[in-house]
Amino acid sequence: MNEHTYVAIMAGGVGSRFWPASREDKPKQFLDIAGDGRSLLRMTFERFLKLTTADKIYIVTNGKYKDLVQEHLPEIAPQQILCEPSRNNTAPCVAYTAFKLHALDPEANFVIAPSDALIVNDSLFTANINKALRFTAENDALVTLGISPDAPHTGYGYIQFIDETTEAEDVYRVKRFAEKPDLDTAKSFLRSGDYLWNAGIFIWRAKTILEAYENFAPEIYALLSQGLNYYNTDEEQSFIDEFYPQTPSISVDYAIMENASNIFTIPAQFGWSDLGAWGALYHESDKDKDGNVISGKVIIEDTHNSYIRGPKDKLIVVGGVDDLLVIDEGDVLLVYPRNREQEIKALRSKAESEHGEKFV
């Protein structure tokens, strides 16, 4: 393990498309979505323990979740939890992390990744990360892991790479990033053979990514660089509480990755799924002979290709239906077509508006 290697796990989102299980007060990264007794955050943390030690793993989250993070990850110290006072997308949180780690260790290189991905092969994942870390240590490069696509998925962003290897095997220069495509465009991406899914997993030296912010996101750099004397001190949180909300709300993809020229990618095949919505969990879960995924105390009859989840102490009986989501969280029961899962985020807002209450 390299003493200058750090990890930052982004765990501040709400996970609205996993409603009604994911709530404002306990979003999906703190839930046992996979059904193995561990939260997604816990699974991600344990995966990175294969790469570095617990004292070098940091969690970037909304300030309201600090106690939850500590509950799920008792191995980490309070100063390893970076508390955002506002949700400003990923560019400000990456910059905050880079400033903090560079102040701690000028030679720091780090991985920053979401907390809610499902990864099947941890060993292959670690091998890909280590390859990226070696590349960034020897080059002023910004590296992202791209996932070799197996279907024309319209819910993911894509990375187009130049099919010319660098001196490092299986590391390619990025040509462009593409937003979530329509189905025909996604099919053309697969046919071309030079597109990968964008997993949002980035590897870089703190020094290199800060230089990119200075060049391409000067507003964020100017605001957060004012805290150079405060990072890793008792005054850090006060500084962040004042200046972080002033940063623009923008993703690191838009702010940096679409503008910098030193972007590289490693095509990976470690079994990845962005658990952005119920359909992704259905796709990755074991199914019965009729294509159903069942969690809880459930009886089914003439039911096919459905995802059914309920409390352990409540009997749910479902019959004569196909391709449904049935999610019972006690105070909210969701029954909805599985192929319309992208509407769930809006449904949550509608439910709160019409019933005059927050489902937290």
Q: What is the pLDDT of residues 119-129, one digit of tens each?
A: 888 888 999 99
Asked whether the predicted pLDDT for residue 106 surpasses 70, the reply is yes
Read off the pLDDT of each residue in 83-94 and give the average, rounded to a whole number. 95
Q: Are residues 293 and 268 in the same domain?
A: no
**pLDDT tier at 193 (50, 70, 90 boundaries)?**
confident
Domain end (from 252, 273, 294): 273
**Terminal C-alpha separation, the chain:** 41
Domain end (from 249, 273, 297): 273
Q: Three-state SS for 238? A: helix
Q: Are residues 174 and 305 in the same domain?
A: no
**Whether the Cβ atoms of residue 344 and residue 332 lie closer than 8 Å to each other:** no
Give domain status of residue 154, yes or no.
yes
The pairing of strands 172-178 and 158-165 is: antiparallel
**pLDDT tier at 280 (50, 70, 90 boundaries)?**
confident
Q: Considering only 108-112, 207-211, 301-305, 308-312, which range has the smallest mean pLDDT?
A: 308-312
Give domain status of residue 360, yes or no.
no
For 288-305, write each residue's pLDDT tens digit: 999 999 988 999 999 999
Q: Are residues 45 and 87 in the same domain?
A: yes
Give domain status of residue 65, yes or no.
yes
Q: What is the pLDDT of residue 90?
A: 94
**pLDDT tier at 216 (50, 70, 90 boundaries)?**
very high
Asked whether the predicted pLDDT for residue 357 surpasses 60, the reply is no
Closest by CA position to 265, among listed 151, 156, 190, 177 = 177
For 120-178, write each residue's pLDDT tens digit: 888 889 999 999 999 998 888 999 999 888 888 887 889 999 977 666 678 899 998 88
Q: Which residue has the tokens 């699974």?
A: 43
Residues 328 and 163: their CA atoms lie apart, in Å, by 47
Asked whether the predicted pLDDT for residue 49 surpasses 60, the reply is yes
**pLDDT tier at 279 (50, 70, 90 boundaries)?**
confident
Quote the domain boundaries for residue 302.
Answer: 279-355
Q: What is the pLDDT of residue 353?
A: 79
Structure-model confidence comparison of residues 149 and 73, the more confident one: 73
Q: Are residues 180 and 46 in the same domain?
A: yes
Q: Are residues 17 and 160 in the same domain?
A: yes
The mean pLDDT of the chain is 90
Asked whether the predicted pLDDT for residue 67 surpasses 70, the reply is yes
- CATH code, domain with 200: 3.90.550.10
Question: What backbone phi and psi angles, to 5 degrees, belong to 301?
Answer: -145, 125
Q: What is the DSSP string of 179-217?
A: ----HHHHHHHHHHS-EEEEEEEEEEEHHHHHHHHHHH-
Read off the pLDDT of each residue in 78-92 and give the average, rounded to a whole number. 95
Give domain status of residue 33, yes or no.
yes
Give domain status of residue 205, yes or no.
yes
Q: Are residues 37 and 53 in the same domain?
A: yes
Q: Are residues 220 and 269 in the same domain?
A: yes
Structure-model confidence comparison of residues 356 and 8, the more confident one: 8
Q: What is the pLDDT of residue 356?
A: 60
Domain end (from 218, 239, 273): 273
Total domains present in the chain = 2
Q: What is the pLDDT of residue 17?
A: 79
